[in-house]
Structure 1
Amino acid sequence: MKKNLLMNVLASVCFLSACSSSPPEPPQIDEGAPTVYLNNQVYRQTSTETVAKNAGDHNDQPWIYQYINLNRDDYINETEKVRFFYFAHHADSIEIYGQPARTEAYKYWLQANGVSANISTHRKELLKNNVNITFRRGVKNDEKAL
């Protein structure tokens, strides 16, 4: 019993003595020391204009792909984004039909995401905020794809 009491008192004293000690003072900054710049590199933003393209697709055959009645505030459904941007980045020309404000918004969005194809906008009476987009590769506007 005396042994337990002695151990408890000793543990309490050790615990309390550790709590009463204060942390060491932080080192002081020498204001007179010369300034050292750790990052001397100029920030360079990488261009998004170069997107790797799969040149072997479609066996060099011309193609046309259309999206009809797009009307989302976030432009395209999440599940369609990969396919949409595949066609956008591989197309020679893109035609966007709809109300001018909406077609210009799509054009800006495509260009901001690195699409380098020739993008033309055309006024067409569709439902509010709807657009039709035609992607073409190797096909002129008046021709049909195979």
Structure 2
Amino acid sequence: AMLGRLIADSGGAQRIAMTLVNKFGEKNIQWAVVIASFIIGVALFFEVGLVLLIPIVFAISRELKISILYLGIPMTAALSVTHGFLPPHPGPTAIAGELGANIGEVLLYGIIVAIPTVLLAGPLFTKLAKKIVPQSFEKMGR
């Protein structure tokens, strides 16, 4: 929680996201958002990460004139997966404690499961959803 507070107060979350956006470029903007959300999600609870990243997603979508959903779905997927699979979040930590599992191993196996899950639930699902309901992706950032 203290690390999350430091990231929030220092503007680190926005800096991480914008650095990745600049590095990845417009074509790979979803991957930048996924990586930023994954990194930020490890240190913060889901709700805090969401509150920090939503304004960034709005700003990027406005600047690049792309749908908020195009970036919001991958962001939410990455935050959800880190919260559900990786310690120090409550669920994985409680399960590890109940089963007597090593937290380091839980983190390692959590990352192994989390990466493909984020890819499927984030950018790949967004691509599929855009084909199924294209009208939902027409509204651009404000």
* TM-score, scaled relative to structure 1: 0.29
Question: Which structure has greater strand proportion?
Answer: 1
Q: TM-score, normalised by structure 2?
A: 0.29
